[in-house]
Amino acid sequence: MSKKELKITKYCNECGTGAIINSTICTSCGAELMTSKGMQFVQPIRSKQDIEKMKSYLKSKNIRDWVLFTLGINSALRISDLLKITVSEVIDDNGNIRDRLRLKETKTGKSKDFPFSNKVRDALKEYISIANPTEFLFPSKKGGAIQRTYANKILSDAAKAIGIKENIGSHSMRKTWSYQAYKEGVSLAQISDALNHSTEKMTRKYLGLTQESLDNVFMSMDL
């Protein structure tokens, strides 16, 4: 077999598929795949205590990274959309934090419109007053916004530092929002809409709930 024919493992962070394939697109949901040499399949942060630990750790290291995480777990945005957010999209002409964020998703082209939660607003206010970013909300020292791979390393390193054993990366923020919403009783239909997924089945697989849901059915049917 030639090098061009070699197949490598790729992972889909949208639906969880891990398969030996040549394609760069997931055959299950159509999302872009990550190679096993790059950003691998990640998990949500399931414990709210761990979420608070992540916030504290990140804030102690860099206030920018704390705000990135806080906004990420409260918005269900993909990392590609988080990193392209500009200061003018979160601050109005009078220097006040806007009530909502409106943007078009890079991957799907669909519109995203949601209000900032109180914790996000407070974090943004503190961040803007201290860091005073001028163009991108999450700037790099080298110019422009920080890169996706760097954001992934920031969150992966933070998770390891606070003792999380599961694989955590930049996509974990979107998964954490989804997982916590589901645990709070938000319907799969609403979560699917928030994620701009094409089907609820895709959302169920994305959350890894298939077996868990079936187990709950069997446990509830205690005849």
Of 153, 183, 147, the residue nearest 45 (C-alpha): 183
Q: Which domain holds residue 17?
A: 8-35
Residue by residue, DSSP assigns 165-222 as -S---TTHHHHHHHHHHHHTT--HHHHHHHHT-S-HHHHHHHHT-HHHHHHHHHHH--
Reply yes or no on whether 57 is catalytic: no
The catalytically annotated residue of 10, 55, 59, 174 is 174
The catalytically annotated residue of 48, 107, 119, 183 is 107
Statement to judge: residues 123 and 146 lie in one domain: yes
- Looking at residue 222, what is its pLDDT? 67
Statement to judge: residues 29 and 61 lie in one domain: no
The catalytically annotated residue of 53, 171, 204, 205 is 171
Statement to judge: residues 56 and 163 lie in one domain: yes
Out of 137, 160, 175, a domain closes at 175
- Looking at residue 70, what is its pLDDT? 98
- Looking at residue 37, what is its pLDDT? 44
> What is the radius of gyration, based on Cα positions, of the chain?
18
Whether 145 is covered by a domain: the verdict is: yes
Report the domain count for the chain: 2
- Tokens 């109005």 sit at which residue? 92
Reply yes or no on whether 206 is catalytic: yes
Whether 41 is covered by a domain: the verdict is: no
Statement to judge: residues 82 and 140 lie in one domain: yes
Distance CA 176, CA 172 (A): 6
Residues whose CB falls within 8 Å of the CB of residue 47, separated by 6 or more in sequence, listed in order: none
Reply yes or no on whether 107 is catalytic: yes
Of 130, 143, 128, 140, the residue nearest 88 (C-alpha): 128
Whether 200 is covered by a domain: the verdict is: no
Whether 22 is covered by a domain: the verdict is: yes
The catalytically annotated residue of 78, 175, 204, 205 is 78
Whether 192 is covered by a domain: the verdict is: no
Distance CA 66, CA 72 (A): 10
The catalytically annotated residue of 55, 197, 204, 205 is 197
Statement to judge: residues 15 and 52 lie in one domain: no
Statement to judge: residues 17 and 118 lie in one domain: no
Reply yes or no on whether 150 is catalytic: no
Which own/partner pairs from 5-11 qualify as long-range (CB within 8 Å, at least 24 positions apart)? 8/35, 8/36, 8/37, 9/35, 9/36, 10/34, 10/35, 10/36, 11/36, 11/40, 11/41
Distance CA 58, CA 67 (A): 9
Q: Are 70 and 119 in contact (CB under 8 A)?
A: yes
- Residue 103 in 3-state DSSP? strand
Reply yes or no on whether 84 is catalytic: no
- Looking at residue 78, what is its pLDDT? 92
Whether 222 is covered by a domain: the verdict is: no
> Along the 223 residues of the chain, how does pLDDT read in single tens digits?
344 434 445 556 555 555 444 555 455 544 545 544 444 578 899 999 999 999 999 999 999 999 999 999 999 999 999 999 999 999 999 999 999 999 998 888 888 899 999 999 999 999 999 998 889 999 999 999 999 999 999 999 999 999 999 999 999 999 999 999 998 999 999 999 999 888 888 888 888 765 666 677 677 766 7
Statement to judge: residues 57 and 151 lie in one domain: yes
Whether 190 is covered by a domain: the verdict is: no
